[in-house]
Copies of this chain bind each other. A is one copy, B any other.
Amino acid sequence: MSYSKNIDGWATYLKSYNRLSQKMEEKLKDLGHPQLEVYDVLWTLEQASECSLRFKELGKKVFLTRYGITRLVDRLVEQGLVERKVCESDKRGVWARLTSQGKKVRQSMWKDYAIIIKNDFSNKLTQKDHQDLIRILSKVWQED
């Protein structure tokens, strides 16, 4: 993948992300934590009002495709990290709600995750690097 300078940017982006995220996920797993996707769901719910979101909304906010949401949440329900509740005002919808157990698990993950992020990512960059990176990546992707 080295046809031109512009392509090299993409190649570096692709490769650095995959290498780094794989390495970090491995560390989390070795510490007995769930995958990053689980963290993403738990954290997304915790940020929401009353720790609740409709499946539809949750699917949009999380990185996963909407296909996976039902089954992923099912697993979290089995583990007691999330509750589900049919929406009363529109019975087509379903709410997912973070349980107190779910909050504990997220906090426990964060304790290690934060250290990993700092060691493998943040501490390798200067403040200006961070600013530049955010500015540049925001150009190729904007929040919904």
Contacts and interface: CB of A to CB of B under 8 A. Distances in A.
Interface of A: 1, 3, 5-10, 12-22, 43, 63, 65, 114, 117-118, 120-122, 124-125, 127, 129-130, 132-134, 136-141, 143
A13 B6 contact: no
Count identical subunits in the complex: 2
B127 A5 contact: yes
A65 B22 contact: yes
A120 to B, nearest CB: 7
A50 B77 CA distance: 52
A132 B132 CA distance: 8
A121 B9 contact: yes
Contacts of A1: 43
